[in-house]
Amino acid sequence: MEHDVEFRADGIRANADLVATTDDGQAVVALVRLGSWRKRNYVLDASFALTAAEASGRRVQSLLLYHPRKEYVRGLQLCAAELLICDDITVAARRLLPEVQSALQQIVAISADAALVEADELQACGQCRYCSAEAAATLAVDDPRTLFLARRKGRELVQAGVESLLGLPQSVTLTPRQRIQIEAIRQTRPHVDRPALREFAAQLRYPLRFLDFEAFSLPVPPYPDTRVWEHIPYLYTLQTVAEPGAAAEQTYFCGSASGDYREQLAGQLMHDLGAVGTIIVYGRDFEARMLRRLGNWVPAAAQALGDCVERVIDLAQPFREFWYYHHLQRGSLSMKTILPLLGGIGYEDLKIHNGLEANAVFSTALLEGRPLNPAEQTAVIDYCARDTAGMARMTEALLRLCQDGSAC
């Protein structure tokens, strides 16, 4: 059995994770991938490896794909035989050979052409590079590609020569939220639906508790009763505002990457959330799921954490419903976009700027079997605390709009 095999031929290189040789000299090529289902990209990888292997003179009998089984739930001990699935993808990979050959020809043609491809023409996974909120933030506020939930329509408008959302053809059909977006840009001030915001504010009960989880996920479940690629919370921060006008008090829990901390996390969280007060999150589905899963893992906390779910209010709702829309949002509902506009703070001063970075720090420590070092722990806590402090600021700003009608 060979490991980490590289096939080279005709100027191309391809890798296989495992290669076994049969008695008649043919190769059984295996790829190991982390996704929990047979993605088309994995079959394309295998087809490319097949192309390179056969061009190098290897006879390939079969192509195998090993990947985690989505339904696997870990017991007290990890069982590799139950975790991994082996799919024979030989037929599927051979069917894609013409597509791989065509792609290789295009790559050769592009590499031989000195002309540069326009940035807007670059594609990845069939999507324009301006598909993400982060990329859209680089565009002008009125760029058609920032149209809310209509990136594709926006690209088509740009290709048709439309340069601004303020100059759309009358034939363009817009949703109510898109009309609010365009009118806010036209007036260069936020759109505020005060009656709707007052109804939202009427649901809030002090003490207000602003909660945010950070959670990692791995292809190999690390703890008993965890699943493949399941989000497992390792950190929360909580900002508690006892009464109107009071300063927020912060608490947090950060788990040890060198052991199973879930019981400790659930116990402290029950204490910190208490039995009364509205729990405010940004994105209810995720945070509620984390509360329920902690209750599943720690039965003694199940009732209390289940009761907490009933107290959760989603701060994303006023922005999702466009009860508040800032003219500089560029169609984004991300908290990282809205917080600097409404709350006056961002993430630029932090060592960690997003959840992916924070989760990678914890996952790396866990895989290395060590606790977070002091600098890592401070960095992940600071990032999570910025989310909860930001929610407190955003809520304060919305409440101020309800009370005195001031603009933000």
> What are the CA-CA distances from residue 178 to residues 144, 160, 175, 354 (Å)?
11, 19, 5, 27
Angstrom distance (rounded) from CA 67 to CA 32: 6
Last residue of some domain: 72, 105, 138?
105
pLDDT at residue 1, as a whole number = 87
Residue written as token pair 């009370």: 403
Q: Are residues 237 and 385 in the same domain?
A: yes
Q: Does position 7 have pLDDT exceeding 60, yes or no?
A: yes
pTM: 0.88
Residue 121 is assigned to a structural domain of this protein: no
> What are the CA-CA distances from residue 342 to residues 180, 328, 346, 399, 401 (Å)?
17, 10, 10, 12, 11
Q: Does position 122 have pLDDT exceeding 90, yes or no?
A: no
Confidence band for 151, pLDDT divided at 50, 70 and 90 = confident
Question: Total structural domains in the chain?
Answer: 3
Confidence band for 182, pLDDT divided at 50, 70 and 90 = very high
Last residue of some domain: 105, 139, 164?
105
pLDDT at residue 9, as a whole number = 87
CATH number of the domain to which 256 belongs: 3.30.420.10
Contact 28, 20 (CB under 8 A): yes
Residue 87 is assigned to a structural domain of this protein: yes
Range of the domain at 202: 197-404
Q: Are residues 167 and 99 in the same domain?
A: no
Residue 236 is assigned to a structural domain of this protein: yes
Query: Which residue from 363, 391, 392, 361 is spatially nearest to 378, judged by alpha carbons?
Result: 361
Q: Are residues 61 and 142 in the same domain?
A: no
pLDDT tens-place string over residues 329-371: 999 999 999 999 999 999 999 999 999 999 999 999 999 999 9
Q: What is the mean pLDDT of the chain?
A: 92
pLDDT at residue 135, as a whole number = 62
Query: Which residue from 254, 269, 187, 227 is spatially nearest to 70, judged by alpha carbons?
Result: 227
pLDDT tens-place string over residues 187-226: 999 999 999 999 999 999 999 999 999 999 999 999 999 9
